[in-house]
Amino acid sequence: MIRIEIISKNRKEKELVTLYFERFFIGSGNQSQLKIKAQIPPQFLKLSIKSNGVLVETIGNSPTTINGKKILGAKLCKIQDIIQIENHSLKIIDLDPNQTNSSMDLSSLYDNFYENNEEYAQILNAIDKELLYEDYNIDIKGSES
């Protein structure tokens, strides 16, 4: 798990984002897990949660700035480090390598939530159905595509 505080120069408020991916991309495209409105490639940075920090890797020849220093390649970041992307500052607030999508038992967490929150049963069933269709590549009519 990584918690990032996003500060944009054109916004007054800060935004706090928590991600549970072990590895994820930051960029301007929809394929990035953290999408930033900026003149950057669709996948600009790859971040990997490690036991001793967050490995930030630039993709291609586009440098980024970490704690005021330009980098091209990879750098291990710690809590309180700041990644600068144009008018956006991303400050690493918290980090827990034991709480990522690959280390957590998501199935048990989902089952527990489902059992204890009956008011969400209808929406959770709809999500399950959509995920099943996507997972098995089945169209709405139920025939395989």
Q: Where are the domains of the chain?
A: 2-95, 106-136
Counting every residue, how long is the chain? Answer: 145
Q: Taking the model in full, what pTM does it have?
A: 0.70
What is the per-residue pLDDT across 83-95, written as a single tens digit (0 to 9) for each?
A: 999 989 999 999 9
Write the CATH number of the domain with boundaries 2-95: 2.60.200.20
Q: How far is CA 97 from CA 53, 92, 101, in A?
A: 8, 13, 10
Residue showing tokens 């009519």: 141
What is the per-residue pLDDT across 46-65, written as a single tens digit (0 to 9) for each?
A: 999 999 999 999 998 888 99
Residue 75 CA, distance from chain mean position: 18
| Helical spans, DSSP H, in 57-120 | 106-116
Rg (CA), the chain: 18
